[in-house]
Structure formats: structure tokens, C-alpha cells
Structure 1
Amino acid sequence: MRALHSPVNGRVSGAGPFLEPGQHSVSLEAPETRRWGPEPVKAKASGQGGVDPRVPPRLSLSAPGPGLRPPPRGYLRSGVAPASLPAVPLSPRPGVLSFNKSGGGGDIHQGFQSLLTEVNKTGTQYLLRTANRLFGEKSCDFLSSFRDSCQKFYQAEMEELDFISAVEKSRKHINSWVAEKTEGKIAELLSPGSVDPLTRLVLVNAVYFKGNWNEQFDKENTEERRFKVSKNEEKPVQMMFMQSTFKKTYIGEIFTQILVLPYVGKELNMIIMLPDETTDLRTVEKELTYEKFVEWTRLDMMDEEKVEVSLPRFKLEESYDMESVLCSLGMTDAFELGKADFSGMSKADLCLSKVVHKSFVEVNEEGTEAAAATAAIMMMRCARFVPRFCADHPFLFFIQHSKTNGILFCGRFSSP
């Protein structure tokens, strides 16, 4: 959620993909500079779109990426990244934080338009829905060009609300809309006090996914096991078990196994990165760039082999106030009166006051519900050694759209 306020009457929350064409910079750093880490970057609101550089272009600003320390129980984020768009760079020098409009990736708005059409298509064997909506103060005059662009490229309609005299009613209405679009999994995106009579615009993006495994885990094989949170701490977890044939590989430079669990129809996959027990997950995160992720998870470069899979049954729900994260990346102008430039939205002086993100993911025997050196096979004359993939210590997971390579959700599971 993003909210925009007018500095005359108050502040405004909102930013992200709902930006007028022409409001983006065209700066793009060399691929080797792109990382998911938290190096500081200067990002101006004036004439630029505020985006999170630690992940590929996607539908909304979201939870902190692997380069930042998450809450103790792990982190969770959601978003969608079209394969046709370049990774968003994070420059090591004072530069800009922006999408590339003139490079090989083409126009950013056209890219999102194509992606939304693809992920929202009907007739799939999974349920994946994205929904965007703008909730504007009814007395505020927003440019028709801005409204038209939001509808054309992001399928986002403008709904007028009365924030000035009915702020609580407006907040509950927005929460009800989000709850409906996420099948009730995100019931209260906006907490009491998150919007006020000074609010002029709230921009909301909701993503909901539910998919069954192509091969389901047998509930009778699920049992309580110990999950190694750290060298000195273990916690009980309900561990699912399956023996079947999956795509799998081993990345020697980070001592990490990668396993691909497809959903029904094989249009979506869960990709799990599991470091060796002697390798800290933070080591993997520090080495993880978008280019390396794409290289390491290429299905045509993986072996398909029989493997014993042990995976915790888990549910993650996280909320984030993204202002501090964005400011730490250098995107400060958007939050400051007199510096923010959202003239592509309205003639009124607006500035960004709040960016809120909330995500939900549940993984069980049936599948997933969500609101981010090759292993050798030993052959013997009388028996086959079946490799084990035992996720009984911290790991990263990604839900990926196969056709676009878009990362819909990703997160870290570090503690039951």
C-alpha cells in the first residue's frame, strides 16, 4: 500500500508502478553492479519512480530483500518480474534508482501491461490473481492522463473516498477490498491510524496465489522433526516427506543445493535453495545477484533425479513499513515536502508519507497458498543411493512463473 498526502492539507501515501509515462529515468548500470544488497543509492522522487533495486522489476514495492536482515522468524515478500524487463540495478556509486525505459527491456509500462495479462489469464490449473486500485480523496483533482495510464497499463481503477470526514470508514473499505482480493488471507492491510484526514491518495496492489503440488506429499509421512535454527538451537517442526523425481543441482561456489518443486500444470515452480549445514544462509544471500539466480536455476542445466525430500510445513505472514528501508537506500526526496515531484499525478503538491507491505504464504502437503558442482548419483549393482534434500535448517524459497521467469513470492524460512 502507498499513501500520498498533500503538504498543504497534509501528507500523501503512495508511489511505485503507478507513475505517469515519462516519469522514469533511463539510467542503467552494467550488469556486474546489480545486486540484491543494501548499498546506499540516491533516488530522487523528482522525475523518477521509486523502486526497490534488490529484486527484478515487479508489481509493487515489497518486503526487504536478502541483503537486509529480516525479522527473526524470516522474511516474506511478493511481487512479479517480467522476463522481458532488465533487472533493476543498484549502483555502487551515487546514481539513480530507476527502471530502464530505453534499453533492451523496452518500455516499462508496456512490460507491466503484458505481464499482468499473462499472470491473470484464465484456464490455468492454479489460482493467481493480481489486483491494483487507487483510492483517491474525492475533493482532490487527479490528472485524467494519470487515471487513464493506470487503467491502461496496470488495470487499476480510481475509486473516490472521503478521507477528510470519513477516514475510518475509508480505511475499513480499503481493507475489505484487499481481503476480498486475497481470499481473506490479508484481512487488515491498513492498521488504525495509518491513514488520516490529510490523506489524498492510497495506491494498493494485491497478489494472491494458490497452487497444488504436481506431486503431493502424503500426510501420513508427515512427522515431528527437529529444525536447526542455529548451532545451539533447535525447534520442533512438522516435516513433510516424499521420494520422487525432481530437477536438482548443486552450486559448489556457495555450497548450496537447489531443488525445483513444480505445481500442477508445471507453469509455476517453488525453487528452494538449501545451504550445506556448515554454510550460513547469510553467505548465500551475500553472493546472490539476480543474474546468478537466473543462471543457477536454469531448468535445462539441472539433472532430473530421484530424491528424498524433507520439507517443513510452514506458514509465514509478515508486515513491513517500507519508509525506513527506502530512505536507507537513498530514496528520500519522495518523502520530503518541497522536494517530492508527483506532478504527473496531480497539479497539487503531493509527497509520499507511507509505504506498507504485507504478505502471506502457507506451504503444506497439498501445495502452497500465498497472498520472492552437480550432485552425483552413485550407482551400485544391487541398489541405488537416493540423494537426500533435507530442509531441516534455514533456507530460501522462491515461487516462480515459468514462462516469464517472474518471481511472484520469495522468502527465507529460518525458524518454525
Structure 2
Amino acid sequence: LTPLSKANTTFCLDLFRKLSDNDNTANVFFSPFSISSALAMVMLGARGNTATQMSEVHDTHTHTHTHTMLLYALSVANRLYGEQSYQFIEDFLTQTRKLYNAELESVDFKTSSEAARVNINSWVEKQTQGKIKDVLVQGVVNDMTRLVLVNAIYFKGNWNKQFKENATHDVQFRLNKVTQRCNRLYIYSNLAVIQILEMPYKGKELSMLIFLPNEIEDGTTGLEKVEHTRTRTSTHEETHETQAS
């Protein structure tokens, strides 16, 4: 794995654990790429203890590799929305523009924060082909807001191998000890505690990975044991083993 991939995998797993701790039976959906990209831009302007703490969370101390993520054939856009009366350090703006192609748009948070919020939401909706309409809800920005960093990512791909309708069938799917009927696609590798399914998109550069626990011992979703034992190393080793088998 590249240093960038290692850093983002670690960040993804750590953040997922934090989010899932809030409710271990709820669905958790988030984009580690978007969050890490926004954090990386903030790090460009951070100094001292703040920069040190952010580096520890982000697990990377340079931006040498981070910006290369933008070279993928994905629709990725970054933008800064800054309070028009606030003076931002020019070097920070130069670096965000150079590394993340993120331009600064001046807005009036002090007297027209709601108009600024609508403006930001409109930009995100356009960048995501209408899929994300209200990324900022009312009250998120106010007259004290000075800077909003936005990352919008849009991806739509075709599977490398399309599913054959006559090759799918219903099996029992367990949310916890209770089972439900669902469509089974295929299982790629069955390891000791989890099943791992890799579904590559056309070009095989990007894939969807699905982790499914083999056993559910109590009333939880069964994912807790898997979640809290996943590390960047174990995830890489298991997926590498899956690809080699």
C-alpha cells in the first residue's frame, strides 16, 4: 500500500469506530475521502499544537501524497467559502489552490449566513449531479462562521462483471439473531471470522469491499467484534489474501 492509502485506511477505520459507537445497531454512511480531504486542507493552515494533533488523527505529516488522490477519474471538487471581511493568509490560499484546486469564494456570513448556506448547498448539489441537496442544514453556519471547507465527490461506475439475474437467489440474511430474506450475489472469500466480497468496477482500479461476519453471538449486529479487531494491517492482509486465492 502507498503511504496515502495506509493513512486513509487507518483514518477510515478509526472514524468508523467512533461513529458506530453512537448506536451499534444503526446504519453508518460516510465518505472518509471527503472528510480526510477537508481535514488535509485545514492542516495546511494549522500550526503548533493544532497541527500536531491533526497530524496524529490524519496519520500523515505531509501533503506530498494527499493531492495525488485527485488524479483518479472521479468527479472531485473542493472549495473554500470565507467571510468577506476576514483576511486569510495568502500562503494558505496558494497551497489549497495548488494541492486541492480549491478556490476561495468570499461570502457574507456576518449579515447573510443563510444566503451563504444556500449558496454552498447549491454548489454541492451541482457537483454531485443532484445527489446531495442539503449538505448544510439550517443553523450550521451563522454570523460567527469565518471559513467553510467543502469537498464534493461524485462517483458512478459500472461493475466489471454485471450480475446475471438467473444466478442470484434469496438466502437468509441476519441483522442480528433475527433473519431476513435477501438477494445473494456471490461470496469471494470466506475467512475465519468474516466473509470478504470484492466487487471491482470497470478498469479494476476501484472496488467495493463488503465485510460480513460469519457468526452473530448476541442481539447486536455481529459487526462489533469485527469492527474493533480491524486494523489497517489486518484489512490489507485479508484483502491481499483474498486477491491471491
TM range (shorter): 0.7 to 0.9
How high is the sequence identity, in percent, across the aligned residues?
34
1:260 maps to 198
In structure 2, relative to structure 1, the CA distance for the partners of 1:300 and 1:55 (3 Å cut) is: closer
1:167 maps to 113
Residues 1:289 and 2:221 aligned together: no
In structure 2, relative to structure 1, the CA distance for the partners of 1:141 and 1:97 (3 Å cut) is: closer
Residues 1:78 and 2:31 aligned together: yes
Q: Give matches, 1:241-390, under 5 Å.
A: 241=185, 248-252=188-192, 255-278=193-216, 280-298=222-240, 302-303=244-245
1:186 maps to 132
Bigger Rg, structure 1 or 2: 1
1:22 maps to none
Q: Which has the higher helix share?
A: 2
In structure 2, relative to structure 1, the CA distance for the partners of 1:159 and 1:130 (3 Å cut) is: same
Amino acid at match of 1:274: L
In structure 2, relative to structure 1, the CA distance for the partners of 1:249 and 1:219 (3 Å cut) is: closer
- Identify the structure with bigger relative contact order (alpha carbons < 8 Å, sequence gap 6+): 1
Q: Give matches, 1:33-48, under 5 Å.
A: none
Deviations 1:154-201 (A, max 9, x none): 111100011122221111000011111111111101101111122111
For 1:144, which of 87, 90, 96 is the aligned residue? 90
Amino acid at match of 1:250: N
For 2:142, which of 196, 206, 215 is the aligned residue? 196
How far apart are 1:97 and its partner, in Å?
Answer: 3.7
CA RMSD of superposed structures (Å): 3.1
The 1-side partners of 2:14 and 2:165 are apart by 32
The question of whether the paired residues in 2 share the 8 Å contact of 1:136 and 1:160 is answered with yes
Deviations 1:48-105 (A, max 9, x none): xxxxx994358xxx994135425433112213389xxxxxxxxxxxxx64437xx9x7
Q: Give matches, 1:1-80, under 5 Å.
A: 55-56=9-10, 64-66=15-17, 68-71=20-23, 72-80=25-33
Amino acid at match of 1:200: R
The 2-side partners of 1:176 and 1:63 are apart by 31
Amino acid at match of 2:189: T
* Structure 2 gaps, min length 5: 1-6, 38-51
Q: Give matches, 1:80-229, under 5 Å.
A: 80=33, 97-99=53-55, 108-116=62-70, 118-119=71-72, 121=73, 128-219=74-165, 226-229=172-175
The question of whether the paired residues in 1 share the 8 Å contact of 2:83 and 2:146 is answered with yes
The question of whether the paired residues in 2 share the 8 Å contact of 1:164 and 1:198 is answered with yes
Deviations 1:102-134 (A, max 9, x none): x9x7x6212112222x22x4xxxxxx2221110
The 1-side partners of 2:152 and 2:197 are apart by 28
Deviations 1:296-318 (A, max 9, x none): 11167532xxxxxxxxxxxxxxx
In structure 2, relative to structure 1, the CA distance for the partners of 1:288 and 1:175 (3 Å cut) is: same
How far apart are 1:234 and its partner, in Å?
Answer: 3.8
The question of whether the paired residues in 1 share the 8 Å contact of 2:189 and 2:242 is answered with no
Describe the SS at the equivalent of 2:65. Answer: helix
The 2-side partners of 1:66 and 1:295 are apart by 20
The 1-side partners of 2:141 and 2:153 are apart by 22
In structure 2, relative to structure 1, the CA distance for the partners of 1:285 and 1:241 (3 Å cut) is: closer
The question of whether the paired residues in 1 share the 8 Å contact of 2:8 and 2:32 is answered with no
